[in-house]
Amino acid sequence: AVQLDACPVDLPELGARVLYTELVYVLEPDDPFRQWLQVVTDDAAPRTAVISVWEANDPETLINLCADAAAREVVASDFAERDGCAETLSWDGSTYSGGTSGEDCPGSRADVSHETAEVMVDADGISRWDRGYDSDGAQVSGSEMGAYRFDRLTDLPPLQ
């Protein structure tokens, strides 16, 4: 079982809508296997958002950040943007859906040539299907069965 924790962080130099996100196995909550920032911006296309992905330079210092985000200071230099890994999501009236583009997102492991992400966000939660491929195009990481579904456990904050 996998849990996704996400919370807003105050990094105005990156943008007005910045989320810190962590993926952990439920039985190992203090040992996340993926941590990143998502910077959400409006795209020039109507009803479209672009989410740039930023990796933590020193992930150990950010473990469980969402549990005490107000008490911990983060700065933009704690992260590096993953060029080619932006996710473009389109709004259909009830759901944002989309993902990365082609093979532009380089792998984050030695055996991974490129990575892809398919994302769906609705009022009830998030579905993510992250996969990594080797140079021959064979999938070497991520779920082979489909997307992980993360159900929302907290209320949506009011829109500002």
137, 155 Cβ separation under 8 angstroms: no
| pLDDT, tens only, 68-99 | 766 778 899 999 999 999 999 999 999 999 99
Counting residues of the chain whose pLDDT is more than 70, the rounded percentage is 95
Q: How many CA atoms lie within 13 A of 119 on its CB side?
A: 20
Question: Which residues have CB under 8 Å from 147's CB, separation 6+?
Answer: 118, 120, 127, 128, 129
Q: What is the pLDDT of residue 73?
A: 84
